Structure 1
Amino acid sequence: MKKFRMKVNGKVYEVEVEEISDGVATDSQVVGEKISGPVASSGTSVTPSVSESTRPLPEGAEVVTAPMPGKILSLQVEVGQQVKDGDLLLILEAMKMENEIFSGTNGVVKEIRVNEGATVDSDDVLVIIT
């Protein structure tokens, strides 16, 4: 894999791309998130898309990340909701155990970047609090 820095809409992303030939599908890494898809051959224009989990984070935001890989069982908050330090945000199932994920600050839920039933990896962004 080769590492590159890309600027998309004024935001810089670090990506790892596997070199291939003939436009065969490949795996890549965008800020730690593995993605798969076809690769355009040289000279072809490709419009990148930025998924929820790789979007830039708001300045000064408290970012709640997954402590381990697992599945989101339930969301306990909504966007716009006031939360306090220690409030329950969501429940993450990992290794057949339910893990409660709590807020580490007082603020307002700005974004929820996961849905119930979603599978997440360690350090994936789950909730943003401002």
Structure 2
Amino acid sequence: MGKIYKIRIDSEVYEVEIEEVIKEATHRVYREVKATEKVQPKENIKETAPKESEVIKEESKEEIIENNVEYVLAPLPGKILKVMVKPGDVIKKGSVLLTIEAMKMENEIFAGFDAKVADVYVNPGDKVETNKKLLKLVR
């Protein structure tokens, strides 16, 4: 429920309700996660079971390694105008990665963190839809 206001237009008074609308972020980054499962024979579980602290340390190392890959997705549908990076480039937070034209406006896509470009999925002239993978970055 929003706030209710009275507005006067000429000599008429109108009652209006105003709601706050929260917009979604205009760009999303997804992480590639690989599932790993360790299998031990049932008879050796008691003898070889690691201590709880060892399991936590081991899992957190795997998580750090597997969560290094992130994708830059198209925030809106449009046409790729410029790609400023290529695989192997090291980029800094805030640097321009590419430019998308949408509704006759040029929209620059910036790096959100320091990374290395692992792969580029688009070329100038390509048309993209929202959430299409544009780049693969490795932290």
In structure 1, the gaps of 5 or more residues are 1-56
Q: Does 1:65 align with 2:73?
A: yes
Structure 1 residue runs of 4+, over 2 Å off? Answer: 57-60
1:119 to 122, 127, 131: 127
Q: Partner letter of residue 97 of structure 1?
A: M
**Separation in 2, partners of 1:127, 1:80:** 12
Instruction: Give the Å deviation of 1:129.
Output: 0.8
Bigger share in strand: 1
Q: Does 1:108 align with 2:116?
A: yes
TM-score by length of 2: 0.51
Q: Partner letter of residue 105 of structure 2?
A: M
**Separation in 2, partners of 1:87, 1:62:** 16
Q: Does 1:79 align with 2:93?
A: no
1:39-50 correspondence to structure 2 within 5 Å:
none
CA radius of gyration, larger in:
2
Instruction: Give the Å deviation of 1:105.
Output: 1.2
Q: Can you list the C-alpha shifts for 1:49-80, whole angstroms capped at 9, x where unaligned?
A: xxxxxxxx574212110000000001011110
Q: Can you list the C-alpha shifts for 1:15-72, whole angstroms capped at 9, x where unaligned?
A: xxxxxxxxxxxxxxxxxxxxxxxxxxxxxxxxxxxxxxxxxx5742121100000000
Match of 1:88 in 2: 96
Aligned length in residues: 75
- What SS is found at the alignment partner of 1:86? coil
**Separation in 1, partners of 2:71, 2:94:** 14
In structure 2, the gaps of 5 or more residues are 1-31, 34-65
- What SS is found at the alignment partner of 1:85? coil
TM-score by length of 1: 0.54
